[in-house]
Structures are given as structure tokens and as C-alpha cells.
Amino acid sequence: MKFDSTPDSNTTRVLVADQNPYVRASLRAFVEAEPGFEFVGDVSDAHWLMWAFRVADPDLLVVDCSLPGERLGRIVESVRTRRPETRIVMLGTGPWLEPTAQRAGADAYVSKIESPDALRAALRPMADRQN
């Protein structure tokens, strides 16, 4: 795992958390291709997410709803306690998980079965709030 902890005020720093390495690689490529976003790292479970969150100091987290290691609500609570302005977009396997993400306190939810445009539409407002 490599994390960049040098902030740039012109970009929204994104940390990805998903247990699937293919999803993490795809999200990395997606974030790196989006203007105004900077990929700062990825992790596979909640323990590493909280460590990376402290090290990389991201503006935005993209978190899988089924991330192992901790309940979603506890992850959001920990993030909000440390850095309330951090935005959280949750990903799940279908639209039926959106209420779970909302109850946990996510700023947005995107189903993994939707097109990349749906993810782009969820991330863009997060960057606009940051800048």
C-alpha cells in the first residue's frame, strides 16, 4: 500500500476501500482519469481504512458497503469524529443497499451495477463541496 499525504488544495483527495482488488484497481483508474481528483490510496478492510484515513488525509472516501472488519455506521462515525468535512460515497452490489448506506450516514450511494456515469455524478458534487 502506498499513500500520498501531501495535500493539494486544487484537487479532491480520494481514498478507496473495497475488499475486491479488481474493484479497487478499477476505481483507481477511474479516479485518476477524472479532472480535479487525486487518488491517494486503497485498502481492503476497515482496519486499514482507518489507518490510511489518518495517514493519507483524504477529502473523500469511496467505501464498499460490505467492507470487512467493522459496521458501516461505526466507520462513518469514526471518520466524522476525526474529520467531519470528509465526504463518504458508499458502493454496493445493488440499489437495495442504498437505505443501508443512508442509515450509516453516507453522503451518497452508488450501485456497482450502474454505469461509470453514476459514480461520476456522485463524486462530482463531493469535489465541488471541497473546493
Q: What is the CATH number of the domain that holds 28?
A: 3.40.50.2300
**Short-list 125, 126, 124, 97, CA closest to 109:** 97
Mean pLDDT over 11-26 rounds to 96
State yes or no: pLDDT of 37 exceeds 90. yes
pLDDT in tens, 69-98: 888 899 999 999 999 999 999 999 999 999
Mean pLDDT over 59-66 rounds to 95
Residue 22 in domain: yes
State yes or no: pLDDT of 2 exceeds 90. no
CB 105 within 8 Å of CB 80: yes
Give me 36's grid cell. Answer: 480535479
Residue 67 in domain: yes
Residue 45 in domain: yes
Name which residue leads in pLDDT, 20 or 1.
20
- Residue 90 neighbours by CB distance under 10 Å: 28
Summary mean pLDDT of the chain = 90
Q: What's the first-to-final CA gap in the chain, in angstroms?
A: 27
Length of the chain measured in residues: 131
- Residue 72 neighbours by CB distance under 10 Å: 23
Report the number of distinct structural domains present in the chain: 1
Does the CA dihedral 62-121-109-20 come out positive or negative? negative
Task: Supply the pTM of this predicted model.
Answer: 0.89
Residue 131 in domain: no
Residue 126 in domain: no
Residue 85 in domain: yes
Residue 128 in domain: no
**Short-list 100, 58, 84, CA closest to 17:** 58
Give the domain range for residue 103.
Answer: 12-120
State yes or no: pLDDT of 23 exceeds 60. yes
State yes or no: pLDDT of 113 exceeds 70. yes
